[in-house]
Structure 1
Amino acid sequence: QLYRRLSEVLGLNDETMVLSVFIGKIITNLKYWGRCEPITSKTLQLLNDLSIGYPLQKRCWWLGFNPSLAFHLQSEHFSFLGINNQSNLTDMRCRTTFYTALGRLLMVDLG
């Protein structure tokens, strides 16, 4: 149903195109809404869900999402990655989810 609706609304006809939109939206949400906990948490949960299935992990690589580059991101890219006096438990949970998902994506065997 999701793919059918996305096809109708956005003209996306295959899983690769849908995944590409999801990855773009994840990056945009984390970059611009990093201080909005409800959006950040849901976005990171989507990233986490995408990192669990092997077929999706492999497609992320083929779409050019390189998690090893993402490990070099700092708080100026995604605000929840910053550690300062204003960091809270929510930021720590977000960092944990983010790095867990990236770790899974790094472990993909492409061979």
Structure 2
Amino acid sequence: MDGFMVTLRLGAVVGWCRLGRYRTGELELSYVFLPEWWGRGYAREACAAAVGPAFERFPDDARLIAVTQEASDRSVRLLDGLGMTRVDAFEEFGARQVRYAVDRPG
């Protein structure tokens, strides 16, 4: 739907960030970053750039979600830092997953 690769000035790909559809049809923020680039703020910067205009790009959506493994402390902190709220948890892929969401402002 709407995504981008995250690269450094020298062209090294460090990850990607995307707004797309979750299997339920909900608007979803998804991202993957290479471990060697974790902890440098790239994921936070890229995800914030995607979340900021998400509701303008997708005016029919009232909510944006993201799903991560509960054990992924970095992802949980990232989603909390983006202003998303944990809405539920479930088992999938042999691990506990958590769904976060943020509603359209106003």
TM-score above 0.5: no
TM-score under structure 1 length normalisation: 0.37
Question: Which structure shows the higher strand fraction?
Answer: 2
Structure possessing the higher relative contact order (Cα contacts under 8 Å, 6 or more residues apart): 1
Larger radius of gyration: 1
Q: Which has the higher helix share?
A: 1
